[in-house]
Amino acid sequence: MIIMALNCGSSSVKYQLFDWDTREVVAKGMVERVIIGDSFILHEVPGRETYRHEQDCANHQAAIDLLIKTVTDSVHGVINSVDQISAVGHRVVHGGEKFTCSVMIDESVLDAVKEVQHLAPLHNPPNIEGIEAAQALMPTIPHVAIFDTAFHQTMPEHAYIYPLPYEWYEKYQVRRYGFHGTSHLYVSKRASVLLGKNPADCNIVTMHIGNGVSHCAIQNGISVDTTMGLTPLEGAVMGTRCGDIDPAIPAFMMQKENLSAKEIDSILNKKSGVIGVTGRFTDRRDVIENAGAGDKRCQLALDIEAYRLKKYIGAFMAAVGKLDAVVFTAGVGEMGALIREKSIEGLEHMGIHLDKERNRGAMTRKRETLITTDDSPVKVYVIPTDEELVFTEDVVAILNGTYTDHMNFEYSFARADFVRK
């Protein structure tokens, strides 16, 4: 059984083909610069050199058509025909309040996703375009939606309702939703295995740190709070997003710089965060290198990010009660030893005892690593995330009729005998 995972962004289409029978990724890749010109595909197959092919893709349907031709190509492909694909799982960033788990896509589901696209205007429209394009090109294959927001639908009202006019929630669904749900689900399940406990008995703070950053407070196995809000702009410092700021700042700067609402939104989302402070970088490797060379603004960006991370660890420890573990994941979380160290040093009074040597050694996206001392009351792990595996297992379970909510459905990676390939 071959499952395709699709993640359609505004100008890219990421894909993965997973062989469920052998539990192996058989191919993955990305079509870049969709719509904007000079498009190309990067196609990776284990044991082969990465294949690159340039071909303009004026829309998402052209991009998906290109990837289908690539994966079925007689030389570079891995399957003979698209008919060998059993189902397609689509990442959908925002599902609003309607979706609490993954679902088979039909007309009513697609309409519901369209109804909430105003809540994620940068993400849901290309997600929808990708679904419609894939359905047009693969009409006989089942399509499944996997929602970033679904994992966080267990949050209580006091965590997701903003202290704003309540009619804004009633009329426009203004509330906290949270994102990166599949990543938080995966690493929290893996952490429970490493702890030797049932997920329902675990209190964990998960830290997804990449270009986008979000943290999740997990109490007794379910999300009870998270840092991102109505949109992915709220919360921690990110590569280009500001995270938490005084809400009066946008109006103040609109007046000072004569900016429109669209312009200020673009600045907060694309020109703030790490790049806003450094003026040059979003990649934390560049920031760390230049901070070491004496760049004061790079050092400041590191200090700000680590300080904010530390504050959220403390806040979420207060939210969940006695904490079992903190988990770092995603690009920076998995590779940024210095950022991890700066964000948890000084938390010994909260039961976190960092082992600096272990932390410095945890610089791989292939291994799960404990970075606290053996006697640390609260464990800290670095766990590589695998959102595509969550996609795949949801899709297979839906096809088999065995799927249910994540606390009752047994994922393979939530078992003690799971081996990451």
SS (H, E, C) 17-34: EEECCCCEEEEEEEEECC
pTM above 0.85, yes or no: yes
Domains along the sequence of the chain with CATH: 2-147 (3.30.420.40), 196-382 (3.30.420.40)
Higher pLDDT, 12 or 204: 204
Structure tokens at 30: 């990305």
Q: What is the pLDDT, as a whole number, of residue 363? A: 85
Q: What is the pLDDT, as a whole number, of residue 117? A: 81
- Dist CA 94 CA 394 (whole Å): 17
Q: In what helix (H) or strand (E) does residue 86 lie, and over which residues does it extend?
A: strand 85-92
Q: Residue 120: pLDDT above 80?
A: no
Banded model confidence at residue 330, pLDDT cuts 50, 70, 90: very high
Mean pLDDT of the region 134-144: 93
Banded model confidence at residue 406, pLDDT cuts 50, 70, 90: confident
Tokens 């600096």 locate to 356
Q: Residue 122: pLDDT above 80?
A: no
Q: What percent of the chain has pLDDT over 70?
A: 100
Decide: 129 and 8 in contact? Cβ < 8 Å: yes
* Angle (CA) 44 397 202, round 5°: 90
Q: Is 148 known to be catalytic?
A: yes
241 Cβ neighbours under 8 A, 6+ residues apart: 212, 213, 232, 233, 268, 269, 270, 272, 273
Mean pLDDT of the region 337-359: 95
CB atoms within 10 A of CB 346: 11
CB atoms within 10 A of CB 340: 26
Per-residue pLDDT reduced to its tens digit, 48-87: 999 999 999 988 999 999 999 999 999 999 999 999 999 9
Tokens 């995972």 locate to 5
Q: What is the pLDDT, as a whole number, of residue 147? A: 93
Q: What is the pLDDT, as a whole number, of residue 9? A: 84
Task: Tell me which of 148, 295, 386, 394 is the catalytic residue.
Answer: 148
Burial 369-389 (b: 16+ CB within 10 A, else e): bbbbeeebebbbbbbbbbbbb
Q: What is the DSSP letter of 36?
A: T
Q: Residue 421: pLDDT above 80?
A: no
Q: Residue 18: pLDDT above 80?
A: yes
Q: What is the pLDDT, as a whole number, of residue 295? A: 95
Cα→Cα distances 407→145, 198, 199, 242, 403, Å: 19, 10, 8, 33, 11
Q: What is the pLDDT, as a whole number, of residue 282? A: 87
Q: What is the pLDDT, as a whole number, of residue 236? A: 95
For all residues of the chain together, what is the average pLDDT?
93
- Dist CA 123 CA 121 (whole Å): 6
Per-residue pLDDT reduced to its tens digit, 238-292: 999 999 999 999 999 999 999 999 999 999 998 999 999 999 998 899 999 999 9
Q: In what helix (H) or strand (E) does residue 146 lie, and over which residues does it extend?
A: strand 143-147
